[in-house]
Amino acid sequence: MTPSPVSDNQIRVLLIDDYQLLRHGLALLIDREPGMRVAGEVDSVEEALPLLAALRVEIVVLHLKTAGLAALDMNQRLLRVMPQLHVVVMIPLSLDIQPSRMLQAGASAYVTPCITEAEMLWTLHLVHSGQRAISPRIVAHFERQIEVEPVSSPFDQLSERELQIALMLVDHQKVNQISRQLNISNKTVYSYRYRIFSKLHLNSDVELTILAVKHGLTDVHGHSATR
């Protein structure tokens, strides 16, 4: 990836999408917007992580094409490297990822790939000002879904931090790994683990993984995406 020249007074945006045609079209749109420039384009989260600080990225547009644990985990990995980052997730409606869950995982905005040019630019400016946004198309979609069949998940009762640690446990991360990544003590991780198990009425990490599979937060192997 070749970083684009960006002046100090411009909003820096990094695009993460392995659909190059869509990504380049979005780059052209952003580069035409006064005060905003694409600092770089990459295919995956792995490529993006070492560039966030180097390019002084302020906004990431992340095109997700998978649901469950993978979607939440990719968003959280970006924020663990740069907590002040604004992440705009672009997700097809067919994946049925609840907006509340995506925002709880730290996303600043939730839009679809069929978003209009004007709405995308408005969303980028909105999140840069510190606000959050959900595409009206997504809101309408889930309102219709709720009218047909209310959907609830036991994971909805977890706090943002509890959900984050639950996802890391499901992803087979050890307590000492979690404590290092989140900069908290092993004792604190165990405390969160106890609260998670208590709220979900579980007794082991295996039961947690089974419940996560049942509610679409991970696949049957407990694998998170690498892209």
Q: What tokens appear for 1 in the block?
A: 């990836």
CATH class of the domain comprising 154-214? mainly alpha
Domain range annotation of the chain? 11-148, 154-214
pLDDT at 222: 46
- In angstroms, the Cα distances linking 111 to 3, 51, 120 are 25, 24, 8
pLDDT digits (tens, 9 = 90+) for 102-146: 777 788 888 988 889 999 999 999 999 988 888 777 767 665 554
Q: Which of 156, 173, 5 is nearest to 80 (CA)?
A: 173
Hey, what are 204's tokens? Answer: 């082991």
Mean pLDDT of 159-165: 88
Separation between Cα atoms, residue 85 and residue 80, nearest integer Å:
9
Contact (Cβ atoms closer than 8 angstroms) between residue 207 and residue 196: no
pLDDT tens across 12-64, in order?
Answer: 999 999 999 999 999 999 999 999 999 999 999 999 999 999 999 999 999 98
Q: Which CATH superfamily is domain 11-148 in?
A: Response regulator (3.40.50.2300)
